Structure 1
């Protein structure tokens, strides 16, 4: 089982970014995908969850309206879009298979003021 995330992004304040999490080694539609955020020196913060089988999503209230989670079943890939970026969004972002300790390697988001 592998989750391969997109590379680091350097983005400007106010812009949007869409990062990917390509999965392999299991049936994509059988497990949900969680996204989590980690800022320097802080713990993991749950952003949201998507069920690739039926498209159901659930978001942390803090990220509601800021984040959109989607999937492409044909490529077994999950996506997370973040909008209206600020310096607070500079962080590591991980995708993780639900009910499993399997994480992606993280996408680093740098935000320019």
Structure 2
């Protein structure tokens, strides 16, 4: 979409059991006005929907991501964050942030 940019943090290498904080810098729209999701794609596998933080600040996340994954944001900096604790080898993936206007654009499973 013209004028909208989502820039994620650089790649990070962590050992199992450690934690990591990913960030996504948003420009072109305000986080408080739209929902923004985290999605990941493990090597050789399909994309997995982690969760979304809505403009209101409410959060929906997939069942398998509720315990170790925390979505947050800083509306002043217009940044989105994903904290992952107790990293597992299965967490190896490319992580994406994505703007969405309606829940219908995502396959939400709870």
- Provide the TM-score with structure 1 as the length reference: 0.83
**Counterpart of 1:19 in 2: which secondary structure?**
strand
Residue 31 (1) aligns with residue 34 (2): yes
**4+ residue runs over 4 A deviation:** none
Query: Cα deviations across residues 56-90 of structure 1 (Å, max 9, x unaligned)?
Result: 01110011111000000000000000111011011
Deviation at residue 27 of structure 1 after TM alignment: 2.6
Higher relative contact order (CA 8 A, sep 6+): 1
Q: Whole-Å Cα distance in 2 between the matches of residues 65 and 10 of structure 1? A: 21
Match of 2:106 in 1: none
Q: Whole-Å Cα distance in 2 between the matches of residues 23 and 29 of structure 1? A: 11
CA RMSD of aligned residues (A): 1.2
Check conservation: 2:51, 2:61, Cα contact below 8 A. Answer: yes
Alignment of 1:1-113 (within 5 A): 1-51=4-54, 53-99=55-101
Aligned pairs, how many? 99
Deviation at residue 99 of structure 1 after TM alignment: 2.8
- Report which stretch shifted further, 17-26 or 27-36: 27-36
Higher strand fraction (1 or 2) = 1
Deviation at residue 47 of structure 1 after TM alignment: 0.4
Q: Whole-Å Cα distance in 1 between the matches of residues 60 and 31 of structure 2? A: 18
Match of 1:105 in 2: none
**Counterpart of 2:14 in 1: which secondary structure?**
strand
Unaligned runs of 5+ in 2: 103-110
Q: Whole-Å Cα distance in 1 between the matches of residues 47 and 101 of structure 2? A: 16
